[in-house]
Amino acid sequence: MIRIDCKNALALKDKLLEFVADKLEAIPILKSDKFYLTTIDDKQIDKQEVISAINEFLKSVELEKFFQVIPKGDDIKVDPLEGKYMKEKLAKLGQKRKDVFFECTHCGFMTLYEVEWRTHKLIHYI
């Protein structure tokens, strides 16, 4: 099991988890500021493949110049290079939007209005 620490890159964590897990066909286990990768049959995941997948993700979102990937044992840490400024920028990106959206958990329908959302959800229980 490999742990990827995204404590200082929380804005990227969810997309990174999805990309790396799909790329390596691994099962992700999500924690608040990190995630773990494992396989169904407990095969060993190659750390170099994980690092390569993380770098590929960073390149695909054009952020490879702004982050470093630091391996240590079975842990991999994704850290911004610019320190405090980059952490603040990522924190702003990771904040929830102020205008509230209601999303149907069954089909993904989204609306700004809670009444419309509740009414929509009823169609799934008919």
Helix 84-94 with 10-24: angle, nearest 10 deg: 80
What is the C-alpha to C-alpha distance for residues 36 and 53, in angstroms, rounded to an integer? Answer: 14
**Residue 113 gets which letter from DSSP?**
-
Angular region, 91: left φ>0, alpha ψ -120 to 50, beta rest:
alpha
List, in order, residues 6 or more apart from 53 with CB less than 8 Å away: 19, 20, 23, 24
Per residue of the chain (126 residues), give pLDDT as tens: 899 998 888 888 888 988 999 998 888 888 888 898 988 887 888 899 999 999 999 998 888 888 889 998 889 999 888 766 666 666 666 555 556 678 888 888 888 888 888 888 888 887
**Whole-structure pTM value:** 0.64
Query: What kind of architecture, by CATH, is found in domain 2-94?
Result: 2-Layer Sandwich (3.30)
User: Which ranges of 25-76 does DSSP label H, i.e. alpha helix?
Assistant: 47-60
